[in-house]
Structure 1
Amino acid sequence: MSRPPEQAAARTRVPRFTHAEHRVHRATATLMAVCVLTAGCLYLPFLAQLVGRRALMVTVHEWSGLLLPVPLLLGLASRALRADLRRLNRFGPHDRRWLRAAVRRRGDRPAGKFNAGQKLYAAWLAGAVLVMLGTGLLMWFTLPQALGFARAGGTPIAPLVWRTGATFVHDWLALALVLVIAGHVGRAYGDPESRRGMRTGSVDARWAAREHPLWRPEGKSE
């Protein structure tokens, strides 16, 4: 006996992400988690006392931060990832309608493969990571004998006043990052199908039609 059309449609799945994109997302998330956890061990007294080995935490934090852009840079070899980055970079009239509907809590939210909220999150996160990397390097280069390139007598490469400003920006932006990432994780856990799409590479066709009505999985223009 053939299944009713409703059941067949419910089982239809469409491709959303490739294995390369999944690996880039997983590697970036892992490095970000290491950065956040080691930062907690450096700044929160109860975690510092619990873990100890501050020098090791500093080293792990520094290198996980330096490696953070690497998965994305390696992932640029993937055509699918480059195409999704172009989608994330485009902000059209339907994205403005999506934002207005989200603010007013209305249901009509037109979106392509990525909605306006995801585009803003991706842009903000990319900028924040670059700023964190830059301020982290400034803090590193203001240490005596940083990377072995300090001047004679252990004088730091960059002026010490730069470290004060870099530390201020780095610390407060780190707090903002934790809050924004927590919101991102919370939204992901509130949408199991979106999470499944990143994990398995495909999503339910009805979910795609409801949440991303302008997206054409077959490769048609959005």
Structure 2
Amino acid sequence: MPPPPELVRFTTAERWVHRTTSALMLVAILTAAFLYVPQLAELVGRRRLLVLVHEWSGVLLPGPLLVGLVFRSVRADLRRLDRFGPQDKGWTWRAVRHGTQHAGPADKFNAGQKLYASVIAGATLVMVGTGLILWFPHLAGLDVRTGATFVHDWLALVIGVLVIGHIRMAVKDPTARRGMRTGRVPRDWARQEHELWDEAVTPEDGDRPSAGAR
């Protein structure tokens, strides 16, 4: 059987987890900007509403992934993101110097994507924890609230920079965006950008419909 011209990269469940998480993250970042930048805050004025939207978008951030854990495809990709193989050693440094096409073979997710996912996941948990302390100040002492405020504010800046970088990389790769939008990518792109994943995919995998599977 000849190899399929397209491969299923993401199921429906995976794409919806990504979309809903992205939407919540962008809302949290934008409302934070309007809360902390005086010039932006003056444009809105309704600070209490901004605070409420910011609080709920932040605390709901882990929700889409928790729901997605019901689906086998989401759990499988989480395992891929959590495992660094021999091919990942030095990949990020080579990609920064020479571009992803010359960084060496990659699995379904390259080392840069794995690092980004790990940092964002950890940072999100810290942000939710510190955010809850600020949301319910009576549950902690002044020293704890002061420390939580410091961590929350600076980590928000780090997350904002990382998300902007993530969006910038996505803008530069329309095929990757298509994979997240439709679930499918051309086999040639997979062979070029994720060679180890392409080699591991069978013809049956390539023909499998893009749907969430339990």
* Same fold per superposition (TM over 0.5): yes
Report how far residue 193 of structure 1 moved: 0.3
Matches of 1:50 and 1:99, distance apart in 2 = 40
Which residue number in structure 1 is paired with residue 21 of structure 2?
Answer: 28
| Identical-pair percentage | 58
Matches of 2:91 and 2:33, distance apart in 1 = 36
**What amino acid is aligned across from residue 187 of structure 1 in structure 2?**
M
Which residue number in structure 2 is paired with residue 123 of structure 1?
Answer: 118
Higher relative contact order (CA 8 A, sep 6+): 2
Which residue number in structure 2 is paired with residue 76 of structure 1?
Answer: 69
Which one of 169, 187, 198 corresponds to residue 205 of structure 1? 187
Which residue number in structure 2 is paired with residue 109 of structure 1?
Answer: 104
Mapped contact 1:31–1:67 kept (Cα < 8 A) = yes
Which residue number in structure 2 is paired with residue 15 of structure 1?
Answer: 8
Which one of 177, 185, 189 corresponds to residue 171 of structure 2? 189
Which residue number in structure 1 is paired with residue 30 of structure 2?
Answer: 37
**What amino acid is aligned across from residue 117 of structure 1 in structure 2?**
G
Mapped contact 2:92–2:103 kept (Cα < 8 A) = no
The alignment of Structure 1 onto Structure 2 pairs a total of residues equal to: 199
Mapped contact 1:38–1:57 kept (Cα < 8 A) = yes
Mapped contact 2:41–2:47 kept (Cα < 8 A) = yes
Q: Which structure carries more helix by proportion? A: 2
Matches of 2:28 and 2:187, distance apart in 1 = 36
Classify 1:33/1:100 alpha carbon distance in 2 versus 1 (closer, same or farther; 3 Å): closer
Mapped contact 1:113–1:214 kept (Cα < 8 A) = yes
Which residue number in structure 2 is paired with residue 91 of structure 1?
Answer: 84
Report how far residue 217 of structure 1 moved: 2.9
Gaps of 5+ in 2: 207-214
Matches of 1:81 and 1:173, distance apart in 2 = 27
**What amino acid is aligned across from residue 40 of structure 2 in structure 1?**
L
Give matches, 1:211-222, under 5 Å: 211-215=193-197, 216-218=200-202
Which one of 117, 130, 140 corresponds to residue 158 of structure 1? 140
Question: Partner of 1:214: helix, strand, or coil?
Answer: helix
Give matches, 1:163-174, under 5 Å: 163-174=145-156
Deviations 1:114-171 (A, max 9, x none): 00000000000000000101111111221xxxxxxxxxxxxx2210111111111100
Gaps of 5+ in 1: 1-7, 143-155
Report how far residue 81 of structure 1 moved: 0.7
**What amino acid is aligned across from residue 113 of structure 1 in structure 2?**
K
Mapped contact 1:97–1:110 kept (Cα < 8 A) = no
- Using structure 2 for the length normalisation, give the TM-score: 0.88
Matches of 1:162 and 1:184, distance apart in 2 = 32
Rg larger for = 1
Q: In the alignment, is residue 53 of structure 1 matched against residue 59 of structure 2? A: no
Report how far residue 68 of structure 1 moved: 0.5
Moved more, 16-25 or 106-115: 106-115
Deviations 1:160-196 (A, max 9, x none): 1111111111001000111000000000000000010
Matches of 1:26 and 1:70, distance apart in 2 = 12
Deviations 1:1-44 (A, max 9, x none): xxxxxxx99x9111100001110000000000110111111111
Matches of 2:45 and 2:76, distance apart in 1 = 44
